[in-house]
Amino acid sequence: MRKGKLSAALILWLCVFCSGCWDYKDIDKLSVVTGIGFDRAEGGGIKVTLEIVDRSSSPKKEGLRTRAVSGAGRTAEDAVQKLARGLDFEMYYGAMAVAIFGKDTPREELREWLLNKREVRQTVYVLYEDEAGKLLQTEEDGGIAAYKLRDILDASKREKPLELYRARGHED
C-alpha cells in the first residue's frame, strides 16, 4: 500500500515538472523572421537582411505586413546580434522560408551558421542572387516577399526538379 502511494506521488510529481512546456515562447513576444539575406558588407564583413513580420499594423484590417531590417558585422552572428539589439523581441527563425546568399559571400560558412540555428527548418529554400537584401524588400502591395519566393519555387518544383534556382527565374 505504501509503495503504491509513493509511486502515485512520484508520477504526479513527474507530471507537474515534465509537462512539455519548458521551452514555450509566446508568439506575441517574438520577432518572426520570414527570410534572411547575406551580402558582402562594404567594410569586408557580412551584411544580414532580415524580413520580419511587422506587428505594428493590424493583420485583420491591412493584412500581414513585413519589414526588412539590415545590419553588418564581422560575421553573420555579429551582424544578427547588432540587429537583435534594435528589435523589441527575440528573433524566431521557425517560420523562415528562404535564405538568400549574395555575390562574394562565404557560402559554406553561412550555411553552417544557419544549420546551427536550431529553429531553422530543413525545408528552407536556398537562393543565390547578386544582391540578396533587395529580394527581401517589402513590395508595394504588401505581403511577405520570402513567402512569395517560396511559392514560386514550390510551383516550379512541381514542374521539374531543381538543383539550383536563381531568384531571377533562370537556372545555372
pLDDT band of residue 53 (cuts 50, 70, 90) is: confident
Distance separating alpha carbons of residues 144 and 137, to the nearest angstrom: 9
| pLDDT value at residue 162 | 40
pTM of the predicted model as reported, rounded to 2 decimal places:
0.75
Q: For the packed helices 107-115 and 76-86, what is the interaxial angle rounded to 10 degrees?
A: 60
Is the per-residue pLDDT at 50 higher than 90?
yes
Q: What is the enclosing helix (H) or strand (E) of 153? A: helix 145-159
Q: What is the DSSP letter of 29?
A: G
62-68: long-range contacts at Cβ-Cβ below 8 A with a sequence spacing of 24 or more? 62/142, 63/142, 63/143, 64/142, 64/143, 64/144, 65/138, 65/142, 65/143, 66/34, 66/138, 66/143, 66/144, 66/145, 66/146, 67/138, 68/133, 68/136, 68/137, 68/138
Least confident of 19-23, 73-77, 155-159: 19-23
Which pLDDT belongs to residue 7? 81
At 78-118, the pLDDT tens digits run 999 999 998 888 889 989 999 999 988 888 888 888 888 88
pLDDT of residue 18: 67
